[in-house]
Amino acid sequence: MWKGIDVSDNQGVIDWEQVATAKVSFAILRSVRWSGKTDYQFAVNLEGCRKYGIPVSVYKYTYATTPEAARQEAQQVVELLRSDDVTSTMVWWDVEDKDVLRPLGAAKLTECIRAAREVITAAGYGFGLYVGLYVYKERWFDFNAFAGTRLWIARYYRGYRTMRFDDEPDQKFKPDVDGDISGWQYTSCGEIPGIKGDVDLDIAYEDPMLWSQPAVEPGVIYTVSVADVWTKELAEIARQQFAARGIVGVVHKVKILG
């Protein structure tokens, strides 16, 4: 497991040297505010993480109620990342607003998230979902439509009692979902050197460095076969011909439609 933080301009000016000394394994930075403007501390937070070698991903708290609005929000994130020369990272799509998003209903919200994912992945970034456990349990949207998408889930099992960064969260309170999760935000009342006041603390269940890798091609899989033939006899002939040339398979790129 890897322990990290997620931050925004709500944390003010952060001393990233102290944060790095506390052995933070990753940081998730807020990217764009509701207004469409960049988080006021994004540039200096990104610079601090780069300086001290802290792996970075970003999040966007969405208010989009239509696919068009979701695409616009996602494009704002893409433009910010490109402007700061962030060529590959994970964008966590933060779906938790009870007043704006829950009234949409599952079908409409699912379409909004799909639209955002389309923009993010087409730009070459990874796409993940951040939700409170209540969002998952109440099925605000169709989670099956995002099978294979990384999940980062919040569950605060100690209420609003302060937890220090070096405290170990009790794994028996890990969010209970169908399948694995990539991350658990276990408190919003964390305490860590270098940050004044409360900060969200997180656990990653996979190496956060993987979140900085280039995104896979959306809607594309690869298969390997010897040849595409109609009969068993032709298949055997093709196998022998390929084997004589030292070829054990042919790679096919398959576009998934629909």
Q: Is the separation of the CB atoms in 43 and 84 below 8 Å?
A: yes
Q: What is the pLDDT along the chain (258 residues), one digit of tens a residue?
A: 899 999 999 999 999 999 999 999 999 999 999 999 999 999 999 999 999 999 999 999 999 999 999 999 999 999 999 999 998 899 999 999 999 999 999 999 999 999 999 999 999 999 999 999 999 999 999 999 999 999 999 999 988 889 999 999 999 999 999 989 999 999 999 999 999 999 999 999 999 988 876 555 444 444 555 455 556 666 666 666 666 656 665 555 555 444
Q: Which architecture characterizes domain 2-212 according to CATH? A: Alpha-Beta Barrel (3.20)
In degrees rounded to 5, what are phi and psi of residue 200?
A: -70, 135
Task: Give 203's contacts (C-beta < 8 A, 6+ positions apart).
Answer: 1, 2, 3, 4, 169, 183, 184, 186
| Residue with the two structure tokens 């998230």 | 113
In the chain, % helix, strand, coil (3-state, to 5) comes to 35, 25, 40
Alpha helices (runs of H) in 31-183, residue ranges in sequence order: 42-51, 67-83, 106-122, 133-138
User: Is there a contact between 176 and 151 (Cβ–Cβ < 8 Å)?
Assistant: no
Q: List CB contacts of 73: < 8 A, sequence separation 6 or more.
A: 32, 36, 60, 62, 63, 64, 116
Q: Where are the domains of the chain?
A: 2-212, 220-255
Q: Minimal CA–CA distance to 33: which of 72, 60, 58, 70?
A: 60
**Residue owning tokens 């009342």:** 189
| Helix or strand holding residue 115 (H, E) | helix 106-122
- The predicted pLDDT at position 186 comes to 97
Helix (H, G, I), strand (E, B) or coil at 215: coil
Tokens, residue 216: 């896979």
CA pair distance 4, 201, nearest whole angstrom: 6
Q: Report residue 12 as tokens.
A: 């003010």
**CB count in 10 Å sphere of residue 184:** 23
Query: What's the pLDDT at 258?
Result: 45
Q: DSSP of 31-43, one letter per residue?
A: -B-TTSPBPTTHH
Q: What is the pLDDT of residue 233?
A: 63
Q: How many CB atoms lie within 10 A of CB 230?
A: 7
Tokens 């940050």 found at: 195
